[in-house]
Amino acid sequence: MMYFVLLCLLATGTTYGAHNFATGIVPQSCLECICKTESGCRAIGCKFDVYSDSCGYFQLKQAYWEDCGRPGGSLTSCADDIHCSSQCVQHYMSRYIGHTSCSRTCESYARLHNGGPHGCEHGSTLGYWGHVQGHGC
């Protein structure tokens, strides 16, 4: 019975591994790889990185959090909540993927996450994609 329940949870897309990721256009497996790349998929708080703080599971920055709709009331509270921070990533990708020539693939989502609204078009994000691939994507 437990095996069946786990399969049902995985099929809904709300739980992947031990994480309760938000559903959306980014596949759960891709969210997992980005999360592992950014924080080891842990709530690690904020740290200064490239001119500003990067926070939580997905190392969200203030501008990214604002672009995704400001879920969770504040950057810091959302960033260290796996569902809220993955919801932010889902909303960000939904907002920007259609404004580029990039396909709806994990590579494009990872490169957008790393390089901003047109990150999937910039060669500077290829190295980041390599790190994400290293987590099985």
Q: Which of 62, 49, 66, 75 is nearest to 128 (CA)?
A: 49
- Count other C-beta atoms under 10 Å from residue 4's C-beta: 8
Catalytic (active site) residue 80:
no
Q: How far apart are CA 26 and CA 18, in angstroms?
A: 17
Active-site choice (32, 38, 80, 81): 38
Nearest-angstrom CA–CA distance, 48 and 53: 4
Annotated catalytic residue 32: no
Residues 103-120, buried b or exposed e (16+ Cβ, 10 A)? eeebbbbbbbbbbbeebb
Q: Which residue type is seen at 42? A: R
- Two tokens at 16? 């992947």
Active site residues: 38, 49
